[in-house]
């Protein structure tokens, strides 16, 4: 609060002095406000982008969870279908075994038929009388044979493994056709055997039909499982693509986070630099006060603007503008300490002007006091800037010649006491002021803000 009040007083004092240059504190306040707005905008953009990315990640995570749930459900269905397929395979193996057993029975019957045929050859002469009856039975046998051939054809189409046995049976049946006249005695037995074979063939047909149905069911299930597997593969591929996208977004977020951290560190460093730059004049004033105090020089530094007022009574005689010996001695003691601070490596690059101002009291007219004040300021400047002056170093003199100006202010800026009345003794003074490089400081602040 004191600094702000001091800055306001400096601002008012600057207007009262008729100075047109911009107040350094106002400039710093404006730049600091701009910097704060920029920093808030950057933070707003960061949090806005962070919320958008987090929402997108949450949505993609939800899609991934949903896809995983679907995958688990379809995996369960696939396991169940595989179990059913395994059970059907077991049933198919059992039916295959039954079929093999039936084939074994058929083979035995074929052997019996061969034995019967051998007996038929021995009894050919005994059945000659029964040929007419055998013809009748032959007609019936032809019908049965036609039925048997039709059934044999279906059996050949449905069961590939019985092909060899069916061929043998067809050959034996052809032999039976040639020996039809000799089969009178054995016809009844053959008919019974044929009926038994028909029953077995019918059973085999039914089993084969069941096997075909089961095979069709298994094929349909395999097709369904294949389609489900393809769907699962496609979903897995989409999940992999989504995972790649999420990984890329995560990498992008990590990169953005690293960038923001770097920007935050840069802003913190810039803030420190700005704070150091803003407090530069305060540090100069403090350094001047400490240096004068350490040198036991009775001169007060104005805490608001850093000006130092030297009493005219010490430097000049009344109404005179020539430096007294006492005044020269005081300047020889004061000036080296003053320049040691202002022209140091730390502060010298920021000081653009050192002003020597002469002031008078309010007695007399303005013009005469203006001439007196100008001559006194010029007398001090001429003394310290002369070639033969040895109070300061040659480097300090060279720098001071580049920076120094001498002005007379007449009685335009008197010193007032606590009651508001002019203090005549204090108003007669020579003031040393310094002005900082505002343009250079503004450019440095702009460079700091534009950095990175």
Task: List the structure tokens of 79.
Answer: 């396991």
Q: Please, what is the average pLDDT of the chain?
A: 80
Q: What is the mean pLDDT of residues 419-423?
A: 90
pLDDT above 60 for 259: yes
* pLDDT on residue 1: 47
CA dist 61 and 50 (Å) reads 16
Q: What is the dihedral of CA 363, 368, 373, 376, to 10 degrees?
A: -110
SS3 content of the chain, % helix, strand, coil (to 5): 75, 5, 15
Window from 159-173, 292-306, 315-329 with minimum mean pLDDT = 159-173
What pLDDT score was predicted for residue 127? 67
- Average the pLDDT over each of 44-53, 170-179, 384-393 and give the range with the smallest value: 170-179
pLDDT at position 237: 85
pLDDT band of 273, cuts 50, 70, 90: low
State the pLDDT confidence band at 198, using cuts at 50, 70 and 90: confident
State how far the alpha carbon of 347 is from the alpha carbons of 168, 197, 301, 352, in Å.
122, 124, 17, 10
Least confident of 79-83, 250-254, 273-277, 328-332: 273-277
Residue 376 has pLDDT above 90, yes or no: yes
What pLDDT score does 369 carry? 93
pLDDT of residue 408: 95
Buried b (16+ CB within 10 A) or exposed e, 248-261: eeeeebeeeeeebe
Can you give the pLDDT at residue 185?
Answer: 66
In this structure, what are the phi and psi dihedrals at residue 451, rounded to the nearest 5 degrees?
Answer: -65, 140
What mean pLDDT is predicted for residues 22-41? 86
**What is the pLDDT at residue 155?**
60
Which range, 10-19, 207-216, 331-340, is most confident?
331-340
**Residue 213 CA, distance from chain mean position:** 58
User: How many Å apart are CA 6 and CA 368, to the nearest integer?
Assistant: 33
pLDDT value, residue 142: 73
Length of the chain: 452
% residues pLDDT > 70 (the chain)? 79
* Residue 303 pLDDT exceeds 70: yes
- What pLDDT does residue 256 have? 83
Q: What per-residue confidence (pLDDT) applies to 225?
A: 77
Question: Range with the lowest mean pLDDT among 2-6, 45-49, 120-124, 393-397?
Answer: 2-6
Q: Which has the minimum average pLDDT: 39-43, 222-226, 344-348?
A: 222-226
* Least confident interval from 11-20, 209-218, 235-244, 391-400: 11-20
Distances (CA, A) of 52 to 45, 47, 49, 57: 11, 9, 5, 9
Whether the per-residue pLDDT at 18 is higher than 50: the answer is: no
Q: Is 406 a residue whose pLDDT tops 90?
A: yes
pLDDT band at 343 (very low <50, low <70, confident <90, very high): very high
- Residue 357: predicted pLDDT: 95
Of the candidates 295, 296, 331, the one whose C-alpha atom is nearest the C-alpha of residue 311 is 331
Q: How large a percentage of the chain has pLDDT more than 90?
A: 27
- In the prediction, which pLDDT does 63 show? 81
Helix (H, G, I), strand (E, B) or coil at 247: helix
Query: What are the pLDDT digits (tens) for 221-236?
Result: 888 878 888 888 888 8
pLDDT (0 to 100) of residue 190? 64
Q: Is the pLDDT of residue 250 over 80?
A: yes
Q: Is the pLDDT of residue 15 over 50?
A: no
The whole-model pTM stands at: 0.41
pLDDT digits (tens, 9 = 90+) for 427-448: 999 999 999 876 555 566 666 6
């Amino acid at each position: 609060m004191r600094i702000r009040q001091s800055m306001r007083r400096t601002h008012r004092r600057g207007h009262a002095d008729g100075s047109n240059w911009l107040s350094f504190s106002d400039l710093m306040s404006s730049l600091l406000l701009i910097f704060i707005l920029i920093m808030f905008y950057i933070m707003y953009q960061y949090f806005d982008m962070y919320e958008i990315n987090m929402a997108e990640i949450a949505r993609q995570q939800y899609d991934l969870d949903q896809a995983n749930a679907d995958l688990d459900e379809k995996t369960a269905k696939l396991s169940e279908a595989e179990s059913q397929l395994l059970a059907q395979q077991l049933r198919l193996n059992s039916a295959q075994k039954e079929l093999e057993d039936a084939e074994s029975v058929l083979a035995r019957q074929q052997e019996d038929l061969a034995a019967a045929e051998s007996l038929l050859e021995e009894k050919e002469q005994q059945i000659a009388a029964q040929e007419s009856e055998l013809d009748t039975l032959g007609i019936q046998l032809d019908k049965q044979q036609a039925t048997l051939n039709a059934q044999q054809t279906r059996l050949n189409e449905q069961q590939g493994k019985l092909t060899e046995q069916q061929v043998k049976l067809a050959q034996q049946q052809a032999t039976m056709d040639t020996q039809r006249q000799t089969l009178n005695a054995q016809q009844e037995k053959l008919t019974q055997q044929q009926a038994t074979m028909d029953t077995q063939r019918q059973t085999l047909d039914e089993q084969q039909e069941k096997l075909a149905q089961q095979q069709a069911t298994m094929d349909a299930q395999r097709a369904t499982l294949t389609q489900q597997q393809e769907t699962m593969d496609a979903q897995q591929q989409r999940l992999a693509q989504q995972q790649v996208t999420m990984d890329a977004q995560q990498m992008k977020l990590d990169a953005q986070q690293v960038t923001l951290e770097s920007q935050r560190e840069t802003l913190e460093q810039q803030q420190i630099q700005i704070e150091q730059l803003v407090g530069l004049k305060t540090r100069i004033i403090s350094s001047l006060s400490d240096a004068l105090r350490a040198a036991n020089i009775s001169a007060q530094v104005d805490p608001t603007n850093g000006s130092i007022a030297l009493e005219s009574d010490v430097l000049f005689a009344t109404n005179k503008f020539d430096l007294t010996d006492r005044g020269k001695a005081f300047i020889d003691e004061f000036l080296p300490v003053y320049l040691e601070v202002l022209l140091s490596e730390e502060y010298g690059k920021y000081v653009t002007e050192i002003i020597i101002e002469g002031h008078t009291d309010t007695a007399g007219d303005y013009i005469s006091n203006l001439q007196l004040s100008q001559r006194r300021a010029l007398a001090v400047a001429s003394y310290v800037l002369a070639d033969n002056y040895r109070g300061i170093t040659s480097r300090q003199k060279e720098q001071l010649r580049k920076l120094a100006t001498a002005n007379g202010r007449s009685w335009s800026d008197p010193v007032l006491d606590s009651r508001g009345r002019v203090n005549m003794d204090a108003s007669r003074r020579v003031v040393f002021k310094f002005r900082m490089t505002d343009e250079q400081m503004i450019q440095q602040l702009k460079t700091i803000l534009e950095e990175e």
